Each structure stands twice: as structure tokens, then as C-alpha cells.
Amino acid sequence: MSWTCRWFAIALLLCLHGQGARAEEARAWVEKNLPDLVKLYRDLHKAPELSFHEEQTGKRLAEELRLLGIPVTEKVGGFGVVGMLENGKGPTLMLRTDTDALPVVEQTGLVYASNVKAKDDDDQEVGVMHACGHDIHMTNLIGVAQYLASHKDRWSGTVMFVCQPAEERGSGAKAMLDDGLFTRFPKPDFAVALHVDSTLGTGKIGIREGYTLANVDSVDVTMRGRGGHGAYPQTTIDPIVLAARLVLDLQTVVSREVSPTDPAVITIGSIHGGTKHNVIGDECHLQITLRSYKPEVRDLLIEAVTRKALAIAQGAKAPEPVIKVSEGTPAMFNDEELTSRLLPVFQKALGEENVTTTEPSMGGEDFSRYGLAGVPILMFRLGAVDPQRLAGFARLKQEPPSLHSTLFYPDAEATLVTGITATTAAVLDLLPKQP
């Protein structure tokens, strides 16, 4: 071995040793400060707010960042918050958390369970719950901010803390970008986020490069007919029959129009029509979700739904259906170079056995939009359920409550220790201390 290779090997070992020592230091800091972090988590869990209504949540996060001396800008893209922690020369790293909750009535039985009720955008009263772990995400971000603000001798550069509204609507990232997130503030060199995983044990994280989450599109189709008496169907055009034809016709799109090697999903989530046994109505409304990875497959699915709905109406001499495509979220692509760089960092911080390779999912995440805006991004999965709890579900041959379930809750203490340790390790690697 040449001297150059030997020195490189020694330097690499010293670097990895240093990463391990810093990770242990960060973990010790998290464990020491865990009671206050858990209190923050529970406060956030008890006070959830719906998408684009996160006013008090935004104020709380802004307050937590200001307590650390971080300059904060509020109401970016709605109730979004941006904090800029500068610490000398170096790259800019964006850390993002989502802040909104879901219209779900909590049934966990926790002493800090949400009892919040609110009016949704249709003016209907709904229960509100952090059923997707955004309360963990927010606490994780504040914990990392606290560590970095108190350990400025460990890193150099700028950390951009982004508290984003309306992830559940798939439109909060777009709202912040449209409000000048990357023009009013420095465009970051990297962006990192995490998301809790209800099937992964605490202490573990999951990571994958490339496509990890899907394009998500919502399509509303209203099949229109001509109403009348159920005893005289020959005088009507039955929109429920037309909707039933559409449900069946859509089943062949993925199996016969999409390549078997390209992931795609068409799900009819709701169908509503009619008012009474013997009345044929004028309309039947379908709500459809489309999932894909490739842009061309995304376009094909939307076109196929439109084409088949129009063809069914024409074949029945019915009025043209009303078709609306909304709430689109682009597929999320984890930057290969950034993923490859941080994989050994996570392995050193948590142990190789605690860093798994996740499978691609047909779920969606608007964190993807920051990648499409030209920033290398990485979102990793954070184990959120105690392994003993997972083992108990397995013994009972039950699936653990999924995200968005009224029964989902993370084991917060262990989840936060792992999340803050992993995120801090990523920051210290991407923003190394400048000589």
C-alpha cells in the first residue's frame, strides 16, 4: 500500500471515529434534555390544527426558535415559519418539518390525547389529531435547533429551519415556494427531513435513494344523467349505472395500459349518488386517487380516467361528465449522492444494524417539491413504535395501527432520541467545522 493510500485510510478512520464520538455526544445531550422535549411534544400533540389553519402551531415554533436567538420570519406561504441560524462560512442546509394535523377523532386513550374539534373548509365540525407524527417531526426540529445553537463549535455554515404548513393537503411546500422561500431566503445546498414509520421499531431508521414516494393526484368525476322514476327507467339516463361502468373500466388501466414494470395505482375511494329507493337521480360523484412514479405514467392515468368517463357518457347519450384534477403532489426522489454520503454517517451514529433499506411506497409527500426546485433532498424514515409493541401485534397476527389511524401513537421518548441523534449527525457531516 502506498503512503498516500495509507494516509487516506487513516484519515477516513479518524473521520469515522470523530463522527461516532459526536453522535454519542449528541445522544447524551438528547437524553439529558428529553423531559423538556417530551413536554413540548405533548403540548403540540394536545393542540393540533388543520391544514392552512396552523396559526398557533406556527407561533409556538417561532417562539421556540427565537428563544435560541434564531432570527425568524413568520407567515411564509400561510402559517409557515423560517428560522435562519448562521454560524460562519459554509454551506446552507435546510431542515424541514410539517406542522398540520388531520381531521381525525383520537381514540388512543393517552392522558395527553387531543380533544380538539374544529371547523373544516366545508364548515363541518371535525375532530383534529396528529395522527401522522407531525408533532414528533416538529419536536425533532426544535431539539436539533437547541443542540446546534448550544454547540456552535461543532459546525460551520447556515441551518435553515422550515416549519411547513399543509403537508396533508399536498400544497404547503408549493405555497412556501410561491411565497419566495428560495428567493427571500438563501437557496439551500441540501435539504433533509424525516418521517415517522408505524411499522419500524424505535432505535431504527430507514433510508433509500431514488424514488421513494409517489405522484399523488385526486380526481373528482361527476357522471351526469337524466333523473326520473325508478319504475320507468326507460325515460331516464341512470348516472349510477354510468358510474358503475367507470369503476369497472378503470380496473383495466393499470393491468392493460401501464407497463408491468412501472408502479401505478387507481383507487376509487368514494362513490355517492341517489336519494331514495325508487328515484333515479341526475348525478353520481366519484372520488379517485391516482398513484405513480414516472411523469409519463402520471399523465397516462389522468388521461385514461378522462377518456373512459367521456366514452361512457357518449355511449349512453348522457351529458358530458364533470372532471376535476386537484391536490397533485409530485413523486419524491431522494438524491443519490446525498443519500450515499449520509448512509455511513447514520450507520456510525446509530449502528449498522439499526439502518435499514426501505421499500418504495405509493404514499405521497410534498417535500418532493424542494427537490424539483433544484435542491438535493433526502427524507428518511424514523422508527416510531417500541419493538415489544410490534412483537405483541405480531403475536396477535395484527397489523400495528397505521399512520392516519385514530389509534396511532409513537413511543415518543425513544423516537425522539433516535431522530435528533440521526438528524444532528447529518448536520455535522454536511456542515463541518471550518478551519
- Rounded distance, CA 321 to CA 414, Å? 51
Q: Which is nearest to 95 in space by CA: 160, 147, 148, 145?
A: 160
**100 carries an active-site annotation:** yes
- Rounded distance, CA 267 to CA 184, Å? 40
- Rounded distance, CA 415 to CA 85, Å? 25
User: Of 49, 98, 106, 167, which is the active-site residue?
Assistant: 167
- Rounded distance, CA 83 to CA 136, Å? 18
Q: Which is nearest to 429 in space by CA: 90, 70, 186, 65?
A: 90
Beta strands in 60-201 (DSSP E): 72-76, 80-87, 92-98, 117-119, 125-127, 157-164, 190-201
- Rounded distance, CA 296 to CA 277, Å? 43
- Rounded distance, CA 351 to CA 345, Å? 10
What are the φ/ψ torsions at residue 377 (nearest 5 degrees)?
-120, 155
Q: Which residues pair with 222 in a beta bridge?
A: 285, 322
431's CB contacts (< 8 A; 6+ apart) are 87, 90, 91, 93, 155, 156, 157, 158, 159
- Rounded distance, CA 120 to CA 134, Å? 19
Name the strand (E) or helix (H) holding 377: strand 377-385
- Rounded distance, CA 25 to CA 162, Å? 25
329's CB contacts (< 8 A; 6+ apart) are 170, 215, 216, 217, 364, 365, 366, 368, 369
Name the strand (E) or helix (H) holding 254: helix 239-257
**167 carries an active-site annotation:** yes
Instruction: Decide if 15 contacts 39 (C-beta within 8 A).
Output: no
Name the strand (E) or helix (H) holding 272: strand 264-273
User: Of 49, 54, 100, 189, which is the active-site residue?
Assistant: 100
What are the φ/ψ torsions at residue 87 (nearest 5 degrees)?
-150, 65
Amino acid (1-letter code) at residue 138: M
Instruction: Decide if 58 contacts 81 (C-beta within 8 A).
Output: yes
Cite the active site residues: 100, 167
